[in-house]
Amino acid sequence: MLGNIWLSSALIVTAIFSAGAMYKSYSDIQEAKQIQEHYEIISEIKTLIAKQYNKEPNEITRDEIIAHLPKGENWEKVLLLNRDKSSNLSNKELVNQSGDFEISEDEKLKLLALKAKLKDVIDVNSIEAVDKKYTFEVGKVEKNRVSKDIEIENSLNRAIHFLGTEILYSNKNASETMNKLLADENKFIPYDDIYQDFETTDVGKLKTEKQKYFKSKIKDRLYKNENAFETRLYKELKDLL
């Protein structure tokens, strides 16, 4: 009898510990996923601020990030701290004052999750712990993207000016003018700066996809009809874009 009671008790204790371990493992995995998601969100916020204020993403501080978070939903705690209920910006920060991520070297799963996220961006193995913390720059990719977006925008301005001058003021054929725009020698399309994901890796098909993308950007701009020039040009080109 006593032996059975002892065995049953042991099984119950084992089950409790197993359930606790499973929950801890699940919780750690969820937190690791959350770290990756938060990295993406902070990166997007930095990109938006960089574009709006013409700044480099790596110059944007935590205070600037906080200023651009939605109001009234405690986003500061959700995004910038770890999941400990006692966390605050002085004792459990996830995003430091410089706007970069800090992971303690003993938080192995978080560290691996962020390294996995960054492996194609930076040499994560070259990052060394300082005061038992690893610091990961947020905005390394976004810095390049902001520069590329500016170049695409400048190319759009040049292309629209060219199309308008040729079609509206010189009465050139719209289709022929568009073909002229797409010709390599005119260098209107910044192929190297178009970084969006495309399904193909074939060089010829990729070039065609980037041309379609650039034409869609022209269409989006002209469709807004921000001035009479763009309104007239859209009417001439809408069937070609």
CB 99, CB 4: distance < 8 Å: no
CB 113, CB 35: distance < 8 Å: yes
pLDDT at 48: 83
Contacts of 140 (CB under 8 A, 6+ apart): 57, 58, 121, 122
Residues 142, 42: Cα–Cα separation, whole Å: 11
To the question of pTM greater than 0.85 for the whole model, the response is no
85-132 per-position pLDDT tens digit? 666 666 667 778 888 878 787 777 777 777 777 766 566 666 777 887
pLDDT tens-digit profile, the chain (241 residues): 434 443 444 444 444 444 444 444 556 567 777 778 888 888 888 888 887 887 777 788 888 888 887 776 567 666 666 655 666 666 667 778 888 878 787 777 777 777 777 766 566 666 777 887 877 777 666 556 666 777 888 888 899 899 988 888 888 898 999 888 888 766 888 888 877 777 777 788 888 888 888 998 888 888 887 788 888 888 888 888 8
Residues 231, 236: Cα–Cα separation, whole Å: 9
DSSP 99-155: S-EEEETT-HHHHHHHHHHHTTTS-GGG---BTTEEEE-S-HHHHHHHHHHHHHHHH
225-235 per-position pLDDT tens digit? 778 888 888 88
User: What sign for the dihedral angle of Cα 77, 83, 87, 93?
Assistant: negative
CB 49, CB 83: distance < 8 Å: no
